[in-house]
A and B are shown apart, each in its own frame.
Chain A
Amino acid sequence: QQQVKQSPQSLIVQKGGISIINCAYENTAFDYFPWYQQFPGKGPALLIAIRPDVSEKKEGRFTISFNKSAKQFSLHIMDSQPGDSATYFCAARAPAGKSTFGDGTTLTVKP
């Protein structure tokens, strides 16, 4: 049973456009939802994270939208740049538990 479903699997966006990646979870005990960015041959890097007591969190061009009732959260990358081309993973974690990761989204931003 996959606890975190991520979509789309791949995404192509023009430079300057908005990239949107969605995740849905099932376990209502999850209380921490991070997004990670991974470049080829590198480890994942924490990009932004949110807790369910807020509906949105913005850091620069990156925004997480969180819908607790729908058990969904999404990553929005505004003004997407070629340097944003990477694989993005959402994750969800219960208190003091281990993280469950989505399958990843490969983002390509075309110049």
Chain B
Amino acid sequence: GAVVSQHPSWVICKSGTSVKIECRSLDFQATTMFWYRQFPKQSLMLMATSNEGSKATYEQGVEKDKFLINHASLTLSTLTVTSAHPEDSSFYICSARLKGPGTQYFGPGTRLLVL
């Protein structure tokens, strides 16, 4: 149980295009979902926290107009990187938190390469 999926697992796009990444909790309802960015050999950098049906809360320094987050249901959150540029290339990981005990489970990550 407690599986989180992400799609796509990797994506290559041209500079200036937008990319959407989906995060789904497959077998549980997630009150809260988190989006992280991870650079090689570094820790997880929290980008934003999203609660179902409400606006996402972005961390300081994260552009909310560039990284659009939609938490449409208790099992789905999407991250859209708008007008992507090469510096947006990174490993993006979502995480979903269970109700009750609040255990946090991570998705497998999405590798984004912007050419």
Contacts and interface: CB of A to CB of B under 8 A. Distances in A.
A and B physically associate? yes
B102 A96 contact: yes
Interface string A50-65: 0000000000000000
Contact of A42 (B34, B102, B104, B109): B109
Given A34-B104, A96-B102, A98-B49, A43 B43 contact: no
A43 B93 contact: yes
A95 to B, nearest CB: 8
B43 A104 contact: yes
B105 interface: yes
A111 interface: no
B67 interface: no
A85 interface: no
Q: Interface range on chain A: under 10, 10 to 19, 20 to 34, or 35 or more?
A: 20 to 34
A98 B4 CA distance: 18
A59 B107 CA distance: 23
Interface string A33-48: 0101000011111100
A93 B91 CA distance: 23
Nearest to B107: A43
Interface in A67-111: 89, 93, 96, 98-99, 101-104, 106
A49 interface: yes
B42 interface: yes
A32 interface: yes
B109 A46 contact: no
Contacts of A98: 34, 46, 49
Given A43-B4, A98-B34, A101-B43, 12 more contacts: A32-B102, A42-B108, A44-B44, A46-B105, A46-B106, A93-B104, A96-B102, A98-B46, A98-B49, A101-B44, A102-B43, A104-B43
Interface of B: 4, 6, 34, 41-44, 46, 49, 91, 93, 102-109, 111
7 contacts: A43-B93, A89-B43, A89-B44, A96-B102, A99-B46, A99-B104, A104-B42
